[in-house]
Chain A
Amino acid sequence: MRTKLLVGAALAVVAWFLPYGLDSYAIHVVNVILIFAILAVGLGLVMGIAGQVNLSQVAFFGVGAYATAILTTHAGLGFWVSGLLAIAATVLIGIVIGTPALRVQSHYLGIVTLGLALAFTNWVTNAEVAGGAEGISGIPSPELPGVDLSSEYLYYYLELIVFAVALAFGLFVVRTALGRRMRAMRDDALAAGALGAEVPMLRMTAFMLASVYGGLAGVLYAGLIRYVAPESFNIANMFLLLAMVIIGGRQSLIGCVVGAISLALVREMLVDHPTIAQLAYGSVVVLVVVFAPTGLAGLPRRARAYLDHRRGARGTAAQLGAFQPYEPAASASGDELLAVQGVSKQFRGLKALDDVSLTVAAGEIRGIVGPNGSGKTTLFNVISGLYKPTRGRVVFRGTDMTGRAPYRLARAGMARTFQNLRLFGDLTVEENLLVALDRSRTLSAWRYLLRPLNVLRRDRALRRSATDVLHRYGLTQFASLAPKSLPYGIQRRVEIARAVAADPALLLLDEPAAGLNGEEVRQLAEIVRSIRDSGRTVIIIEHNMGLVMSLCEQITVLAGGRVIAEGTPSHVAGHPAVIEAYLGDTGEFEGATR
């Protein structure tokens, strides 16, 4: 931490004195590079952090620059006022361009944003107010009493300050709740939603952030070059920007900055051989994508990992601790918590669920069993909002929640785990928990602008809670590790800890014992019981009949999408329909009851 601060301070001093060693050409190049660096940070936020493929960053850039140009030359407003209005305009456009992200993702989003960027260039080429293909010249340089900003040397300091603030704000976002939630969404939007992250809102926030950076860069561009034309915002520049972010390392804002600076410098050096430069950066993009997906920013860590590997420091010495049971709480047992009423779910002719009804009382541990393909996971997906039922209702805590988005259900007090583990792969174990612990609304992100200290304070409180959760589940030693590097059983435990960290009234566990050994299953039973005793209700899908029989008070048996039996373990085990359904499938039932 200390070295980082020192390096930062040293860089700041170098940046401050940099102009003294540069001629007028070099300072101009540096000024242009800083603008690209701001753009790259914005692109890094939306693409690297939030995982939204945004190929219209260059259009945000253009909107900012054009709005400044139009407002200063046509409307006669001052530069600063125009700049502020231009950023506001860019944010509006950002919201418009981000809207498709609510419906489509990945490559679909890529082509839509690319198309909208082309639409922007097309508009400015035609519009009278934007000066057509000739562009707008004669933009006044910003005025500051006592400082002549038409001098590129002094303009550099303006840019440097804006850049530093923008980068600091970006890092602040990434390292606190909002950024964590975005990264969680990037890694697994489904799981993030199931933990209460308002995915649509987050995506819009990401686009808004990117547009603010685009707008800032645009305003600075207008003030520096004092001329705007459609060619400055073409697709080639978009791809160049993309290359900067990828080569630098899209998941690290510092990486984005390094990528922007190095690529821009290389391009400037090869300015007389642009085709060679293009060939070079294209190849580097391919190589980076294949061999170093984390880009330049990821190299130190990869190098360290490689060295550790060479030294033979295989595996981590981290030990799983014992689970510390929750304090038992008086549960308001008996009231109905969840009611599934006549739910059917159809997939193109295939009836996965057929008129399923069940009620779960608060404080219960309910087991749901059934042969493979009997619709258990589909039922979970309907309850947790991933699927909209074809017919029927889901009532949770007395409210009809049918077809509500998963994050709404999560906010209403529901949490779940997944059959095939959905941990956020690029987040640490601690961060996985932090995402779940953070129950704030994404809307409250305005605090980042107005009350940053409040954000920091809340983040510190969250980390304290995370430490408690880590300790309770015996995961303290794994806190800073990537989940993928952990043994399967520990990953299962992390996922349960994460779900409980979201403080649900109802916890849905989808095959939590799959892949666990006997000792781990025993620990699991202990954990689940303790979770229930702390006042939560648990529904568990499981194939391990021994676990179900010993753990659950009530069991619902599904077969072919229908409920064929329900009741206490002993009642269900003796039910003729159940025995028939399981015949040939497995002899587990007899084994468990014997």
Chain B
Amino acid sequence: MVRMRATLAVLAVVLAAGCSAPGSDSEDAGSDSGPIKIAVVDAQSGQLSSLGAWELKGARLAVDEWNAQGGVNGRQIQLDVFDDQGDPTIGTNLARKIDSEGYIAMIGTAESAVTIAMAPLLKQAEIPNITSGQSPGLVATKSEFLFLNGPTSTTYDETLAKHIVDQEGIKSIAMITNNGGYGKGEHDAFLKALRSRGVTPLADQVVTADQKDFSAVLTSIRQKNPKVIFLGAEEVESGLIVKQARDLGITATFAGAAPQGTPVFIDTAGAKNAEGAIVSSPYLSNDIDEASKKFAAAYKAKFNEEAELHGAKAYDGTQILLTALKTSNVASGKQLADAIRATKHDGLLGDFAFDETGVGIFETSIGVIKGGKLVAAES
């Protein structure tokens, strides 16, 4: 009987404790002294880690430049990297982690799925996030804390279609896209751009993201004999497609967005095969203008490798964040997000001006691969 009463007592305590919900203590988002903590969340391992590595370098370069000039409001900026391994579940863990460890803003990720998974948590925690994804799904999260450091697929492909159809007058176009997040976005955006011009693609082929042999797809395209083949796939897969297409005797010009301008694409395809490919990109090369030359030189000096698009995007994104921190007097949460939205920035990719959806840049340029290098197209 005594035992029973004791059990009941314990039970009552437990229940009472259960009713007063745990964890209602609110952590402060950022303290007013000490370094300003910014997190870079990106895949540092796994298949997409090259994007993550580039992005980290771009962000690091920007932060180091600011720190060298005394930081923001006299406070140094502390940049820490977190590895999401390309896994959305780990992404959510990290969202909680950076929240509880007092980071006030986040740079990354390069994987749309991870960013989308993190978005609601970051919104709840009021941590502004500048991502380098470009998928329409990012905009669809409708989070006022999510910003894109580059154009969306719509911008890339609208520019591309304008160049190919309107300027070059080519209407004989075939499409190969993969079913991954990036490929799907490219597929929809480019198809829409073509349709708005009254053009129907000769072929609209979908491949899987880890396909290796494209003979069936390419042979059926070869029979339609298009002038231009649009590629909506990541660097390596696009390279393989181009290599196999040339082996099959396809002479058509390839066209695509940012991945088709990268060295990985050119290496995989072979420089000869990639020659003439049309690329729509906000950052064609390291010597477009003074700003890019300066950035490229600093990048090279710091990391001993050539700068490229993803680093440039992260650099721009970080610059915007730091500028907003400065103009808002190191605010956090909603105020910081508003400050980012209000920031006008003349960056490497162009003039940033964010709209309600968190997209800040609506312009890309057309480049061509010549002699194994991406150069601006003569217009």
Within 134-187 of B, Cβ neighbours of A (below 8 Å) are at: 135-137, 140-141, 179-184
B21 at the interface (CB under 8 A from A): yes
Q: B91-102, CB under 8 A of A: which get 1 and which 0?
A: 011101101110
A133 B87 Cβ-Cβ under 8 A:
no
Return the contact of A122 from the options B101, B184, B208 (Cβ within 8 A): B208
Stretch in B110-118, B214-222, B253-261, B296-304 with 4+ CB within 8 Å of A: B110-118
A32 B181 Cβ-Cβ under 8 A:
no
Q: Count A-side interface residues using an 8 Å CB cutoff.
A: 45
B18 A157 Cβ-Cβ under 8 A:
yes
Q: B1-22, CB under 8 A of A: which get 1 and which 0?
A: 0000000001000100110011
Most A CB contacts (10 A, CB to CB) among B136, B181, B183, B184 go to: B181
A125 B96 Cβ-Cβ under 8 A:
no
Q: Nearest A residue to B116 by beta-carbon distance?
A: A137
**Complex contacts, A157 vs chain B, CB 8 Å:** 18
Q: Nearest A residue to B206 by beta-carbon distance?
A: A126
**Complex contacts, B198 vs chain A, CB 8 Å:** none
CA distance A231 to B101 in the complex (A): 26
A446 at the interface (CB under 8 A from B): no
Q: Nearest B residue to A137 by beta-carbon distance?
A: B116
B331 at the interface (CB under 8 A from A): no
A24 B23 Cβ-Cβ under 8 A:
yes
A488 at the interface (CB under 8 A from B): no
Most B CB contacts (10 A, CB to CB) among A13, A28, A229 go to: A229
Given the contacts A134-B112, A137-B140, A272 and B82 also touching, CB distance less than 8 Å: yes
CA distance A152 to B288 in the complex (A): 49
Within 228-275 of B, Cβ neighbours of A (below 8 Å) are at: none
Q: A205-237, CB under 8 A of B: which get 1 and which 0?
A: 000000000000000010001110111101011
Return the contact of B119 from the options A122, A137, A152, A268 (Cβ within 8 A): A137
Q: Nearest B residue to A122 by beta-carbon distance?
A: B208
Q: How far is the CB of B377 from chain A (nearest CB, A)?
A: 30
Q: Nearest B residue to A272 by beta-carbon distance?
A: B83
A17 B87 Cβ-Cβ under 8 A:
no
A25 B97 Cβ-Cβ under 8 A:
yes
Q: A160-181, CB under 8 A of B: which get 1 and which 0?
A: 0000000000000000000000
Q: How far is the CB of B51 from chain A (nearest CB, A)?
A: 14
Q: Count B-side interface residues using an 8 Å CB cutoff.
A: 50
Return the contact of B120 from the options A26, A137, A231 (Cβ within 8 A): A137
**Complex contacts, A236 vs chain B, CB 8 Å:** 87
B21 A231 Cβ-Cβ under 8 A:
no
Q: A249-267, CB under 8 A of B: which get 1 and which 0?
A: 0000000000000000000
A133 B117 Cβ-Cβ under 8 A:
no
Given the contacts A20-B17, A157-B18, A25 and B116 also touching, CB distance less than 8 Å: no
A23 at the interface (CB under 8 A from B): yes
B87 A227 Cβ-Cβ under 8 A:
no
Given the contacts A27-B23, A151-B23, A225-B117, A135 and B93 also touching, CB distance less than 8 Å: no
B45 at the interface (CB under 8 A from A): yes
CA distance A227 to B209 in the complex (A): 21
B96 A225 Cβ-Cβ under 8 A:
no
B85 at the interface (CB under 8 A from A): yes
Q: A19-58, CB under 8 A of B: which get 1 and which 0?
A: 1101111111100100000000000000000000000000
**Complex contacts, A32 vs chain B, CB 8 Å:** 89, 92-93
CA distance A27 to B100 in the complex (A): 11
Q: How far is the CB of A510 from chain B (nearest CB, A)?
A: 52
Return the contact of A133 from the options B22, B86, B89, B179 (Cβ within 8 A): B179
A274 at the interface (CB under 8 A from B): yes
A132 B92 Cβ-Cβ under 8 A:
no
B100 A133 Cβ-Cβ under 8 A:
no
Q: How far is the CB of B90 from chain A (nearest CB, A)?
A: 7
B29 at the interface (CB under 8 A from A): no
Return the contact of B116 from the options A134, A148, A237 (Cβ within 8 A): A134
A154 B21 Cβ-Cβ under 8 A:
yes
**Complex contacts, B81 vs chain A, CB 8 Å:** 272
Given the contacts A157-B18, A274-B83, A25 and B101 also touching, CB distance less than 8 Å: yes
A424 at the interface (CB under 8 A from B): no
A23 B181 Cβ-Cβ under 8 A:
no
A227 B184 Cβ-Cβ under 8 A:
no
**Complex contacts, A229 vs chain B, CB 8 Å:** 88, 113, 116-117
Q: How far is the CB of B299 from chain A (nearest CB, A)?
A: 24
A318 at the interface (CB under 8 A from B): no
**Complex contacts, A66 vs chain B, CB 8 Å:** none
Q: Nearest A residue to B178 by beta-carbon distance?
A: A133
A25 B21 Cβ-Cβ under 8 A:
no
B99 A125 Cβ-Cβ under 8 A:
no
B27 at the interface (CB under 8 A from A): yes
CA distance A16 to B13 in the complex (A): 11
A316 at the interface (CB under 8 A from B): no
CA distance A272 to B87 in the complex (A): 13
CA distance A32 to B137 in the complex (A): 24
A478 at the interface (CB under 8 A from B): no
A22 B23 Cβ-Cβ under 8 A:
yes
Return the contact of B99 from the options A19, A25, A134, A153 (Cβ within 8 A): A25
A232 B89 Cβ-Cβ under 8 A:
yes
A134 B82 Cβ-Cβ under 8 A:
no
17 A–B contacts, CB within 8 A, in A order: A19-B22, A19-B23, A20-B23, A23-B100, A24-B23, A24-B96, A24-B100, A133-B112, A134-B116, A135-B88, A135-B137, A151-B21, A227-B117, A271-B82, A271-B93, A273-B83, A275-B45
The 9 closest A-B pairs by CB, nearest first: A133-B181, A25-B100, A153-B23, A134-B137, A229-B113, A28-B96, A25-B96, A19-B22, A25-B97
Residues of A near any B CB (own CB < 8 A): 13, 16-17, 19-20, 22-29, 32, 122, 125-126, 132-135, 137, 148, 151-154, 157, 221, 225-227, 229-232, 234, 236-237, 268, 271-275
Additional A-B contact list (5), CB under 8 Å, known A25-B99, A153-B24, A272-B83: A25-B93, A29-B96, A135-B116, A137-B137, A232-B88
